[in-house]
């Protein structure tokens, strides 16, 4: 014999409140209810082991409590940590994150965004370059779907954004190398850098100017490894890797070329992902507050959902130089 399914009507009867009141409390709309009433509802829910019907809730609240999160490469520890920060806040607010990994294929971005729209997400956090596609932005506008972009803020002020101070990070790296006597340096970055990467380069270039060798390499270990040939055929003594994965690739490529870090070349990375302290020598890098960036993005999106008419805002978090043992002073 099938056990009778517990409904919200049963919870309301147990708590001694109306179905409407119970529905509002369970959906988080508790502002106009007393602490006593709220406790009664949750006690009744627990005693009866009532699980709200997701689809019924959505019909009432017009919300899915789903947030789409797009990242370019979840295998990069930076994005894994970023997602954990996002998830930390969303979980506390009763939201679930749907993670979409681009796997380096920007052509998939518009497809994934459209898929998230079809799934009825309440908002998007985009840590990828999808926002550069104007058609995506227009689709989100049509759906009145709020979004937060991370490290991709362009000249427009139409959306909220959270990012690290990439320009200052690049400048910090350059000043540190310059102070240690490195007069000529190289920077390894993609040929068509995203906004955040370009700012890192611009910060570094503001110090070195014409004494800077630019070497193209993708944001991966293979990108750093492939940049070595051009570097060892130059007279530079220091290298700024635009992210830590490139730095790890430089480690491999320089070792294969019979060169040592920091004896032959000093290397500074960017991100401070977890392996930085475990490679040999431990990598000096610019640390982003990765977990906090994810938290701030989620908080900002929650704020936008609660106040959709407020002016767009941008939050920039500070970065810092973490000195380890991949840089050697020349003076």
C-alpha 242/C-alpha 104 separation (Å) is 17
Sheet with strand 123-126: strands edge to edge: 96-101, 66-71, 123-126, 147-150, 160-164, 314-317
Residues 6+ apart with CB under 8 A from 264: 254
Helix count and strand count (H, E) for the chain? 12, 12
Question: What average pLDDT does range 301-329 have in this prediction?
Answer: 93
The whole-model pTM stands at: 0.81
CB of 186 within 8 A of CB of 177? Answer: no
pLDDT digits over 110-156, tens only?
A: 778 888 888 889 999 988 765 555 656 666 667 678 888 886 655 45
pLDDT at 137: 65
Burial of 98: CB neighbours in 10 Å, binned 0-12, 13-18, 19+: middle
Confidence of residue 60 (pLDDT cuts 50, 70, 90): low
The residues pairing with 162 across neighbouring beta strands, listed in sequence order, are 150, 315
The residues pairing with 147 across neighbouring beta strands, listed in sequence order, are 124
Q: Which of 317, 300, 293 is nearest to 82 (CA)?
A: 293
Question: What average pLDDT does range 290-306 have in this prediction?
Answer: 94
pLDDT at 131: 56
Question: What average pLDDT does range 20-29 have in this prediction?
Answer: 79
pLDDT at 269: 98
DSSP 8-state code for residue 273 = -
Q: Which of 209, 286, 183, 289 is nearest to 241 (CA)?
A: 286
Tokens of 145: 């779907």
Tokens of 171: 């400048």
C-alpha 168/C-alpha 242 separation (Å) is 13
**Residue 234 clears pLDDT 50, i.e. is over it:** yes
* Structural domains of the chain, ranges and CATH numbers in brackets: 8-61 (1.10.260.40), 66-164+290-316 (3.40.50.2300), 166-288 (3.40.50.2300)
Lowest-confidence pick of 66-70, 242-246, 294-298: 66-70
Confidence of residue 21 (pLDDT cuts 50, 70, 90): confident
Please give the residue that has the higher pLDDT: either 159 or 170.
170
C-alpha 5/C-alpha 7 separation (Å) is 6
pLDDT digits over 218-227, tens only?
A: 999 999 999 9
**Residue 329 clears pLDDT 90, i.e. is over it:** yes
Counted residue by residue, the chain has a size of: 331
Confidence of residue 63 (pLDDT cuts 50, 70, 90): confident
pLDDT digits over 74-110, tens only?
A: 889 999 999 999 999 999 888 899 999 987 666 677 7
**Residue 1 clears pLDDT 50, i.e. is over it:** no
Helix (H) or strand (E) holding 116, with range, is helix 108-118
pLDDT at 49: 87
pLDDT digits over 161-198, tens only?
A: 899 999 999 999 999 999 999 999 999 999 989 889 99
The residues pairing with 240 across neighbouring beta strands, listed in sequence order, are 187, 268
């Amino acid at each position: 014999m099938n056990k009778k399914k517990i409904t919200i009507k049963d919870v309301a009867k147990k708590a001694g409140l109306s179905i409407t009141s119970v529905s509002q409390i369970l959906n988080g709309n508790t502002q106009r209810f007393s602490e006593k009433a709220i406790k009664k509802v949750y006690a009744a829910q627990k005693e009866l082991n009532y699980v709200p019907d997701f689809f019924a809730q959505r019909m009432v609240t017009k919300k899915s409590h789903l947030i789409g999160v797009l990242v370019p490469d979840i295998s990069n520890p930076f994005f894994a940590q970023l997602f954990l920060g996002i998830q930390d806040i969303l979980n506390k607010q009763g939201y679930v994150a749907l993670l979409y990994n681009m796997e380096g294929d920007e052509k998939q971005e518009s497809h994934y965004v459209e898929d998230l729209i079809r799934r009825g997400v309440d908002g998007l956090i985009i840590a990828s370059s999808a926002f550069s596609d104007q058609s995506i932005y227009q689709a989100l506008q049509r759906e009145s779907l709020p979004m937060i972009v991370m490290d991709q803020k362009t000249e427009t002020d139409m959306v909220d954004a959270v990012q690290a101070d990439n320009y200052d990070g690049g400048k910090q790296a350059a000043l540190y190398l310059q102070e240690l006597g490195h007069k000529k340096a190289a920077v390894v970055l993609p040929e068509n850098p995203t906004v955040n990467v370009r700012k890192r380069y611009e910060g570094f270039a503001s110090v070195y100017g014409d004494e800077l060798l630019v070497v193209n390499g993708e944001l991966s270990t293979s990108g750093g490894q492939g940049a070595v040939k051009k570097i060892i055929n130059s007279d530079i003594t220091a290298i700024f890797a635009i992210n830590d994965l490139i730095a790890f690739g430089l480690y491999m490529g320089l070792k294969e070329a019979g060169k040592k870090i920091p004896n032959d070349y000093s290397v500074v990375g960017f991100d401070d992902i977890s392996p930085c302290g475990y490679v040999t020598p431990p990598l000096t890098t610019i640390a982003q507050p990765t977990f906090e960036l994810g938290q701030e993005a989620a908080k900002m999106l929650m704020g936008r959902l609660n106040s959709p008419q407020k002016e767009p805002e941008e939050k920039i978090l500070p970065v810092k130089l973490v000195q380890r043992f991949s840089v050697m002073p020349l003076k």
